[in-house]
Amino acid sequence: MQSMLTETLPKLSQGVPHIDAESLQHSGRMHSWIREKLCALHGHEMMLHFHRGQRVFLRCVECGRETPGWHTR
């Protein structure tokens, strides 16, 4: 059983494409953009948020989109 694992694991890792950090960041940004656009189609569900006494803004519950808000200083 041990030799079967040691022979199979290297073969499996050869078939997996290498994904660099830049590709992951790009796919993450693309996913966020698509999620925000789909959310906008059916309407954002905005809720009021406060940021440590400095800012009041609206944030969508579904996609996380934020309005510019208002400064409270």
Q: What is the pLDDT of residue 57?
A: 94
For 17-36, what is each residue's pLDDT tens digit?
Answer: 566 767 667 777 888 888 88
User: What's the whole-model pTM score?
Assistant: 0.51
Q: Which residue has the higher pLDDT, 19 or 48?
A: 48
Instruction: Evaluate if residue 68 carries a pLDDT over 80.
Output: yes
Instruction: Please give the tally of structural domains in the chain.
Output: 1
Mean pLDDT (the chain) is 76
Q: Which structural domain, as residue segments, surrounds residue 63?
A: 2-71
Q: Which residue has the higher pLDDT, 40 or 67?
A: 67
25-34 long-range contacts (CB < 8 A, ≥24 apart) are: 32/63, 32/64
